Structure 1
Amino acid sequence: MHEQRQRADALRNADKIIRAAIAVLRESGPEVSLDEIARHAGIGIATVYRRFGDRDGVIRAAFQTYFAEEVEPLVLATSGATDAGRALAEALSGTVDTLVTHHGLLKAARESGAFTVDIAERFIGPLGIVLDRAQRHGQVRADLVVRDLAAILVMVLATVHPSDPGHDDSRRYLALLLSGLRPSADELPPPSAHRLRPGGAPAQGPPWPA
């Protein structure tokens, strides 16, 4: 019983730290310190280090939580759509819309290696079903794979910057890249067979521990 209570306390503390990181990054921007996150969470800094290792570990956990709660529902909502091509575009647009509003978390996630094509691919994997339907209906290129959609997200979100509060750039470049999904007789070159682990080391297979 004591061990179960300790485990439950550890999970609660981890969740407090993650929620604090998301909130503080929104309020204070990407340069927020680990001490500030710990203060906001009401958790001792030693507990933060013990649970997450370092600031990058906190950022990675915060970004993955945000992605799971805000982006995955958008992706899963497309599964029953009658117009697969439109659902695909709306899922990507919705993902960009929610992430551009959280510039602090987004920038910190890029700097910590928490937001890469490989990680985006993991979270939007369910779009593969919709992509397959759109391809069968001739709405998008036949040679697209889910990783291409993940790369579109990463490329578009790389254009987000504080001096563009209306997010005009991200809307423009998303529209440009979505236009490249249309059916074409031109074949795409094959993608790389390699994936990147956090920190940049190449690897085969899943890029991130489950």
Structure 2
Amino acid sequence: MHEQRQRADALRNADKIVRAAIAVLRESGPDVPLDEIARHAGIGIATVYRRFGDRDGVIRAAFQTYFAEEVEPLVLATRGAGDAGRALADALGGTVDTLATHHGLLKAARESGAITVDIAERFIGPLGIVLARAQRHGQVRTDLVVRDLAAILVMVLATVHPSDPGHGDARRYLALLLSGLRPSADVLPPPSARPLSPARLPWSV
């Protein structure tokens, strides 16, 4: 019983630290020191080091939790939507909103090596399914590939800036780029043969 209680306490402390990291990085940017995260969590710095090893360990855990709770559900929820074209736009719009809001976490995650091939596949895989459905229904151009969607997100997120907390510019340019996805007789030039990598996904901005 004592060991079970210790394990439960350890899990609660770990969750507090992760939640604190997500919140503090959102509020204060990517350079927040580890002791500030510990203070926000109400956990001693020694416990943080014991549980996660170092600041990078905290950032990696925070990004994995954030991705699993706020990004991945956005794309998974669109796979069975009735209107695939609308679902694709909603997935991209929701992704822009949350990534723009958590820009500090994304930058810290990139610097800590938290962005892995597994994370990339969990995002791109479901998005590719929605894209294929929208193409079959004639709602978007047939020459689109899923890496085009990743590039759109990267371009839109490049317009995010601190003086636009409502992300008005990002929403404007996403709408502009989404209009270019509509079916067209014009043929796009083929993409390069370079494979898509985590570093070229939206969290690389």
Query: TM-score, normalised on structure 2?
Result: 0.76
The alpha carbon displacement at 1:74 in A equals 2.2
Going from structure 1 to structure 2, the CA distance change for 1:55 and 1:187 (only over 3 Å counts) comes to farther
Distance (Å, rounded) in 2 between the aligned partners of 1:117 and 1:154:
17
Going from structure 1 to structure 2, the CA distance change for 1:56 and 1:75 (only over 3 Å counts) comes to same
The alpha carbon displacement at 1:113 in A equals 4.9
Distance (Å, rounded) in 2 between the aligned partners of 1:189 and 1:54:
46
Going from structure 1 to structure 2, the CA distance change for 1:4 and 1:155 (only over 3 Å counts) comes to farther
The alpha carbon displacement at 1:116 in A equals 8.4
Going from structure 1 to structure 2, the CA distance change for 1:7 and 1:184 (only over 3 Å counts) comes to farther
Bigger Cα displacement from structure 2, 36-45 vs 13-22: 36-45
Going from structure 1 to structure 2, the CA distance change for 1:120 and 1:92 (only over 3 Å counts) comes to farther
The alpha carbon displacement at 1:18 in A equals 0.6
CA contact (8 A) 1:74 1:95 kept: yes
The alpha carbon displacement at 1:174 in A equals 1.2
**Root-mean-square deviation (CA), in Å?**
4.4
Bigger Cα displacement from structure 2, 7-16 vs 131-140: 7-16
Query: TM-score, normalised on structure 1?
Result: 0.74
Bigger Cα displacement from structure 2, 37-46 vs 82-91: 37-46
The alpha carbon displacement at 1:163 in A equals 1.5
Partner deviation per Cα, 1:5-33 (whole Å, 9 max, x = no partner): 55544433321211010122233333211
The alpha carbon displacement at 1:132 in A equals 1.3
The alpha carbon displacement at 1:134 in A equals 0.5
CA contact (8 A) 1:100 1:106 kept: no
The alpha carbon displacement at 1:118 in A equals 7.9
- Structure 2: any 5+ residue segments left out of the alignment? none
The alpha carbon displacement at 1:208 in A equals 13
CA contact (8 A) 1:120 1:150 kept: no
The alpha carbon displacement at 1:115 in A equals 5.6
The alpha carbon displacement at 1:77 in A equals 2.3
The alpha carbon displacement at 1:86 in A equals 1.3
Going from structure 1 to structure 2, the CA distance change for 1:116 and 1:10 (only over 3 Å counts) comes to same
SS at match of 2:165: coil
Pick the structure with more helix per residue: 2
Bigger Cα displacement from structure 2, 168-177 vs 50-59: 50-59
Bigger Cα displacement from structure 2, 106-115 vs 62-71: 106-115
2:23 is equivalent to residue 23 of structure 1: yes
1:202 alignment partner, one of 186, 191, 198: 198
CA contact (8 A) 2:117 2:198 kept: no
Asked which structure has the greater RCO (Cα within 8 Å, sep 6+), the reply is: 2
Partner deviation per Cα, 1:68-97 (whole Å, 9 max, x = no partner): 212222222222322111110011111212
CA contact (8 A) 1:118 1:150 kept: no
Going from structure 1 to structure 2, the CA distance change for 1:42 and 1:180 (only over 3 Å counts) comes to same
Instruction: Count how many residue pairs are aligned between Structure 1 and Structure 2.
Output: 203
Percent of pairs identical after alignment? 91
Going from structure 1 to structure 2, the CA distance change for 1:189 and 1:9 (only over 3 Å counts) comes to farther
- Structure 1: any 5+ residue segments left out of the alignment? none
The alpha carbon displacement at 1:35 in A equals 0.8
Going from structure 1 to structure 2, the CA distance change for 1:44 and 1:145 (only over 3 Å counts) comes to farther
Distance (Å, rounded) in 2 between the aligned partners of 1:73 and 1:40:
27
